[in-house]
């Protein structure tokens, strides 16, 4: 069931979404070679707490950290640990904040120092895929138009789109209906209503889109070991367009 948000509910969502936005900027200014992924997680945890928000990920189905920190071949759900970031890595940081009874969710992929041309292009195109995905999006747009646009842009640039993980609705729960795939056939899927709040989150890879989950039951990596990137924002569907709450 898709929950349509009132203007009052959307107003309550603005604060956790703004905290997520500001936290990602805070991390971007500080992330560097020599840090561990656990230190990145500590930055996120402390920032959210200092701003009166709870880290939604911490304890979610037993997840042990406040953020997902995914390096290179890790697509999503990388558990922060002692892995040291190195020059040339790309690092996806995905976090969710809970405040006012609602969640806000976004992700960015950061370059650590100078990265390869392939990784640089991957990060750039993944962000572009988000904006392509919401191009023309408004009340009445078929859901799978988002994935169609993401897939077209990614594949036209020589990349593949992850199928195993999708975007999602968000509100009082971190994950709500509808599921928002990053592939799709244009003109299909439910018609999105004004007041629907969704997370659009392209996950794009250099090689094959197949993934495997490591024995920790969280960390999803590319099956071929090629790099992955992730870009996400929380978006409100409006009558005449969209409002991005995490930008």
Q: What is the CATH number of the domain that holds 222?
A: 3.90.230.10
| Confidence (pLDDT) at 156 | 98
Give the sign of the dihedral formed by CA 71, CA 53, CA 173, CA 146. Answer: negative
**Residue 1 located in a structural domain:** no
Q: Tell if the pTM clears 0.75, that is, is over it.
A: yes
Average of per-residue pLDDT across 46-59: 98
In the chain, the number of structural domains is 1
Give the sign of the dihedral formed by CA 131, CA 136, CA 140, CA 145. Answer: negative
Q: Structure tokens of 144?
A: 């799978």
| Confidence (pLDDT) at 182 | 98
Average of per-residue pLDDT across 35-59: 98
Using pLDDT thresholds of 50, 70 and 90, give the confidence band for residue 95. very high
| Confidence (pLDDT) at 171 | 98
| Confidence (pLDDT) at 229 | 98
| Partners of residue 55 on adjacent β-strands | 97
Average of per-residue pLDDT across 140-151: 98
**Residue 2 located in a structural domain:** no
| Confidence (pLDDT) at 247 | 96
The answer to whether 101 touches 195, Cβ cutoff 8 Å, is no
| Confidence (pLDDT) at 91 | 98
User: What count of other Cβ atoms lies within 10 Å of the Cβ of residue 27?
Assistant: 21
The answer to whether 175 touches 2, Cβ cutoff 8 Å, is no
Domain membership of residue 148 as a residue range? 7-244
């Amino acid at each position: 069931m898709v929950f349509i948000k009132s203007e009052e509910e959307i107003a309550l969502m603005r604060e956790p979404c703004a905290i997520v936005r500001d936290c990602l900027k805070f991390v971007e200014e500080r992330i560097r070679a020599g840090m561990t992924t656990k230190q990145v997680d500590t930055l996120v945890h402390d920032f959210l707490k200092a701003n009166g928000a709870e880290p939604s990920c911490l304890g979610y189905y037993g997840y042990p950290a406040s953020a997902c920190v995914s390096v290179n071949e890790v697509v999503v759900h990388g558990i922060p640990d002692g892995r040291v970031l190195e020059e040339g890595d790309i690092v996806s940081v995905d976090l969710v904040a809970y405040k006012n009874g609602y969640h806000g969710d976004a992700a960015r992929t950061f370059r650590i120092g100078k990265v390869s041309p392939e990784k640089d292009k991957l990060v750039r195109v993944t962000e572009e895929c988000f904006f392509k995905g919401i191009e023309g999006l408004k009340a009445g747009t078929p859901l799978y138009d988002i994935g169609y646009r993401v897939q077209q842009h990614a594949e036209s640039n020589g990349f593949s789109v992850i199928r195993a993980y999708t975007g999602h609705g968000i509100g009082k729960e971190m994950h709500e209906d509808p599921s928002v795939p990053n592939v799709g056939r244009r003109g299909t899927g439910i018609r999105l209503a004004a007041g629907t709040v969704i997370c659009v989150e392209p996950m794009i890879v250099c090689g094959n889109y197949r993934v495997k989950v490591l024995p920790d039951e969280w960390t999803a990596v590319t099956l071929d070991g090629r790099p992955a990137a992730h870009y996400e924002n929380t978006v409100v569907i409006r009558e005449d367009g969209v409002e991005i709450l995490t930008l």
